[in-house]
Amino acid sequence: MKKMICGLLTAVLFIVFGSSLAIAAAGQKKVGILLWSDEVRYQESTLAMLEQLKTDGLTSLEIVQVSAKANKATAMRLAQGLAEQKMDVYIGVGTNGAAALQKEISEAPVVFNVVYDPVGAGLVAGWQHSKNNVTGVSNLLSMVEIVQRVKMIVPLKNLAVLYTPGQKNSESQLKDLQGVEKDCGINILPVPLTSAEDAVSVIALLKGKAEAVFLTGSGFVGTAIKDILDEAIKKKIVPVSHLPDYVDQGVLLGAGADMKELGQTTAVKVEAALNGTAPNDIPVEGPKKTWFYLNLKTARSIGVTVPDALKKEAVKIVE
């Protein structure tokens, strides 16, 4: 299936793999998918998951897919609506999407994807055994690897971290960076972003205070990403993120999981849950490798040189 299905619950489309029918056949398994937003990484990983399910022979699933459009209240309403439909498995894509499902679903399996810190977010008790009805796939990465590569581009002393208080994944990324600042020999400057509208003014304050800015998975960052990057480049501050899809939009260095791989791994867990395996017995998994992405156009605009060694390591380079 080549087209993603998104939208509010009132505009939900039902898909039966291999059929145009909208009515579930007797005994047909039902899967509900809640995306936190329509950002590229969520759509790409979800599409990979759906294609893997089809490849593995699950061609008669009834799929209901909705998007919260990065709104917590909408996420809760959509989760409630999916719960009322009594799905066999629920899939939450993004930390807030998964959290909304977890609050509504206490018995049926909930499988998450693209969740940075599932333990810190309170989705599961541990990676090996969740101790509840939840399991899934994380995009947790080594912050040391990211910082090391930023230092190859710019003499890094102060790294600003743009995050949103109250958004668990965003807070977890800040915490992980603070945890490595001593070993990496840098200072972490937490920069709270409490609305998308404040993005430009917040970045403007960093001039002369930070050589680089790390963009967390904050929903406000995603909403204001163009304005954030335009201002960072104007102020000659190197933008960095663990979200590789931001590189196409102007982030100089992206380091992240392969979204297709995460989606395929999620499909395996969904299949296990559909076959009756308890989520507690399905370990949470992270990415198999950290991939690096570069935007050389941004590097030229800021006036920094990316070393050849880093160019060779990058799996994608935007010229």
> What's the whole-model pTM score?
0.79
Band of the pLDDT at 18, cuts 50, 70, 90?
Answer: very low
Range 144-172 average pLDDT: 94
pLDDT on residue 167: 87
pLDDT at 8 over 80: no
DSSP, residue by residue, 244-271? GGGGGGT-SEEEE--HHHHHHHHHHHHH
Range 141-150 average pLDDT: 93
Range 284-296 average pLDDT: 94
Band of the pLDDT at 27, cuts 50, 70, 90?
Answer: low
pLDDT on residue 289: 86
Q: What percent of the chain has pLDDT over 90?
A: 84
pLDDT at 56 over 60: yes
pLDDT at 243 over 90: no
Range 51-57 average pLDDT: 97
pLDDT on residue 44: 95
Beta carbons within 10 angstroms of residue 264's beta carbon: 19
Domains and CATH numbers, the chain: 9-139+258-281 (3.40.50.2300), 143-256+291-318 (3.40.50.2300)
Residues 144 and 178: their CA atoms lie apart, in Å, by 11
Would you state the structure tokens that stand for residue 260, as one six-digit string? 């297709």
Q: Where are the alpha helices (DSSP H) in 154-283?
A: 168-184, 199-204, 219-223, 225-234, 259-274
- For the four alpha carbons of 135, 268, 37 and 237, in that order, the dihedral sign comes to positive
Q: Which amino acid is at 205?
A: L
pLDDT at 185 over 80: yes
Q: In what order do the strands lie in the sheet with 30-35?
A: 14-16, 62-67, 30-35, 89-93, 110-115, 134-138
- C-alpha 184, offset from chain centre: 25
